[in-house]
Amino acid sequence: MSDTIQILNKLMDSCALRQRVIAGNLANINTPGYTRREVEFQKVLSEAIRSGNDDKVAEAAPKVVLDQSGPYRRDGNNVSVQTEMEVMSDNSLLYNLATTAISRKYAGLHKAIGGK
Amino acid sequence: MPNEFNIMPAMRVSATGLDAESRRMEVIANNIANANTTAAPGGNAYHRKQVIFAAKLASEMNKMGQERVAAGVEVKQVAEDTRPDKLVYRPGHPDADKDGNVRMPDINVLEEMVDMMGATRAYEANLAAIKTSRAMATQALGIGR
C-alpha cells in the first residue's frame, strides 16, 4: 500500500519539477544561446522497478538534462513553443493522474479503517 | 519537501518571462513612437533600441550529473541599434544641416510590428505556463477530498 503512495509521490515530485523546467524553457524562448532542458524520470523509475530492488526504487530521483536534439535557430536557441506546450499538457495530465490515484488510495484506506 | 519539487517556483519563473516580454513591448512601443524623432536627448536623431535577454540559472540545483534549470529570464541590456541615420532632404527643418538634410531615425515600423507579435506570443506562452501551474497546484490541494 505505502509503496504505491511512495511511487505516486515521486511521480508528483517529478511532474512539479518538469513544470518548473518547462516554465524556464518558455521564459527563455527568446534568449540567445539557450538550450532547452528536460526532466528524465520515467526511465529511471522503470529501471529501478524492473531491478526488483526496493532501495533503488526509493532512491530513484528525477534528473534534469539538456536536450540538444531539436533544430537550433540562428540565435543558438532550440526552444519551440509547440513542443513545450505539448510536454506541458502531457505533464499536467500525468500530475492529475498521480493526484487522483493518491486520493483513491487514501479513500480505500479510509474505508478499511471504517470497516465499511 | 525540498523546494525543487514545489509548484510555486514554476510560477515565479513564468513571472520573470512576463516581466521580460513586457519590457520588450515597452521598448518596441518606444521605437515606434520615436520613428520620426530628430531631436532625442543629446540633440541627435533617436536610435532604435532592442532588449537583450539572458537566462537566469538556478544556483541550488548544481548536483552531480544535473543540469541547472532556468530560474527565469532577465533583460541583460537595452542595447542601441548601430545602423546609421537616414538622411532626408528637408531644408526648412530646424534640425537640418547646411545642405538641408535632416538626420532621421532608420526605424522600420513593419520590423517593429513583427517584433511586437513575437513578444505578444512569448507573453502568452508564459501566461499559459502560469495557468497550468495554477491548475496543478489546485489538483494537489484536492488530494484526500
CA torsion, points A47, A50, A56, A61, in degrees to nearest 10?
Answer: 40
In the prediction, which pLDDT does B62 show?
A: 53
Residue (of B73, B130, B12) closest to A31 by Cα position? B73
**Left, alpha or beta for A33 (phi > 0: left; psi -120 to 50: alpha)?**
left
Backbone angles phi, psi at A52, to 5 degrees: 75, 5
Task: Output B36 or A58, whichever has higher pLDDT.
Answer: B36
**Left, alpha or beta for B31 (phi > 0: left; psi -120 to 50: alpha)?**
alpha
Mean pLDDT (whole number) for A17-36: 94
| Closest CA of chain A from B98, distance in Å | 42
pLDDT in tens, B32-86: 999 998 888 877 889 999 999 999 987 765 555 577 888 899 999 999 998 899 8
The closest CB to that of A85, out of B14, B122, B128, belongs to B128
Q: Please indicate if any CB of chain B lies within 8 Å of the CB of A32.
A: yes
Q: Which residue of B has its CA nearest to A28?
A: B73
Distance CA A101, CA A4 (A): 9
Task: Output A93 or B142, whichever has higher pLDDT.
Answer: A93
Q: Which residue of A has its CA nearest to B145?
A: A103
Share the mean pLDDT of chain A.
90
Q: Which residue has the cell 522497478?
A: A49
Are B73 and A21 within 8 A, CB to CB?
no
Q: Which residue of A has its CA nearest to B141?
A: A99
In the prediction, which pLDDT does A42 show?
A: 87
Are B126 and A19 within 8 A, CB to CB?
no
Question: Does pLDDT of B118 surpass 70?
Answer: yes
Question: Does pLDDT of B21 surpass 90?
Answer: yes
Are B6 and A16 within 8 A, CB to CB?
yes
What count of other Cβ atoms lies within 10 Å of the Cβ of residue B144?
11
pLDDT in tens, A86-115: 999 999 999 999 999 999 999 988 899 987
* A37 neighbors B70 (Cβ within 8 angstroms): yes
The most confident of the ranges B60-74, B113-127, B131-145 is B113-127
| Chain A residues touching B120 at Cβ < 8 A | none
In the prediction, which pLDDT does B1 show?
A: 43
Distance CA B96, CA B88 (A): 9
Q: Please indicate if any CB of chain A lies within 8 Å of the CB of B106.
A: no
Residue A53 confidence class, pLDDT cut points 50, 70, 90: confident
Distance CA A102, CA B1 (A): 17
Are A19 and B17 within 8 A, CB to CB?
no
Q: Which residue has the cell 521564459?
A: A27
In the prediction, which pLDDT does B33 show?
A: 95
| Closest CA of chain A from B142, distance in Å | 8
- ipTM higher than threshold 0.95: no
Share the mean pLDDT of chain B.
88
Mean pLDDT (whole number) for A33-39: 93
Give the ranges where A1-116 is alpha helix by DSSP (H). 2-27, 42-51, 54-59, 81-114
Mean pLDDT (whole number) for B8-16: 91
| Chain A residues touching B69 at Cβ < 8 A | 17, 20-21, 24, 37, 64
